[in-house]
């Protein structure tokens, strides 16, 4: 079982997209974002991220079912690039985060989130912002059981 660590993350410049919809849109949104970022000759400065804005698993399931999920993806970049109506550059806040690694198919990460939320409760910590999933490898290049995701939960 993977340990949960407390880490301090620095703020980082990102190019990002955000819209209402279904979580299945994460992959196509990341594809479009990468295509644009690379067309701008941006220097990518870290793994792509998904920001999880819903406050609970139940809220997320309902939002996804209704197509009203708050879906935000971003890519850390070394310097600002031109923006479009859909793609913006901004600073993703840093701060103290609970960090846990998950290896396996995205759709099977539920127990990892349950462990994270239990840890928050047991340690008297509260979420202070959207949870972030950092994708360390490309699911088009590795088997589903080899997908690596780091989950960061901003805490207070």
Domain residue spans of the chain:
5-154
Distance CA 39, CA 18 (A): 19
pLDDT digit string (tens) for 127-152?
Answer: 999 999 999 998 889 999 999 999 99
Supply the angle between the helices 57-66 and 110-122 in degrees, to the nearest 10: 140
Distance CA 132, CA 121 (A): 18
Q: What are phi and psi of 125, to 5 degrees?
A: -105, 150
Average pLDDT over residues 83-91: 97
pLDDT grade for 155, boundaries at 50, 70 and 90: very high
Residue 95 burial by Cβ neighbours in a 10 Å radius (0-12, 13-18, 19+): middle
Percent of the chain with pLDDT over 70: 99
Within 8 A by CB and 6+ apart from 125, the residues are 98, 119, 155, 156
Please say whether the beta carbons of 87 and 35 come within 8 A: no
Residue 81, classed as helix, strand or coil, is coil
Distance CA 78, CA 93 (A): 15
Residue 99, classed as helix, strand or coil, is strand
Please say whether the beta carbons of 4 and 115 come within 8 A: yes
The answer, yes or no, to whether residue 57 has pLDDT greater than 80, is no
- Please give the pLDDT value at position 2: 67
pLDDT digit string (tens) for 28-47?
Answer: 999 999 999 999 999 999 99
- Please give the pLDDT value at position 58: 81
| Mean pLDDT estimate for the chain | 93
The third-level CATH classification (topology) of the domain covering 5-154 is Multidrug-efflux Transporter 1 Regulator Bmrr; Chain A (3.20.80)
pLDDT grade for 106, boundaries at 50, 70 and 90: confident
- Please give the pLDDT value at position 125: 94
- Please give the pLDDT value at position 83: 97
């Amino acid at each position: 079982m993977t340990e949960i660590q407390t880490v301090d993350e620095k703020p980082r410049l990102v190019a990002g997209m955000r819209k209402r919809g279904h979580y299945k849109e994460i992959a196509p949104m990341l594809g479009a974002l990468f295509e644009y970022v690379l067309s701008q000759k941006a220097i990518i400065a870290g793994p792509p991220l998904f920001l999880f804005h819903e406050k609970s698993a139940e809220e997320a399931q309902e939002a996804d079912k209704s197509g009203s999920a708050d879906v935000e993806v971003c890519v850390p970049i070394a310097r600002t690039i031109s923006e479009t109506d859909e793609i913006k550059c901004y600073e993703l806040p840093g701060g103290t985060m609970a960090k846990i690694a998950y290896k396996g198919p995205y759709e099977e990460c539920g127990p990892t989130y349950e462990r994270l939320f239990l840890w928050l409760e047991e340690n008297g910590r509260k979420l202070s912002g959207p949870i972030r999933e950092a994708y360390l490898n490309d699911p088009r290049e590795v088997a589903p059981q080899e997908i690596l995701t780091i989950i960061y939960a901003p805490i207070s």
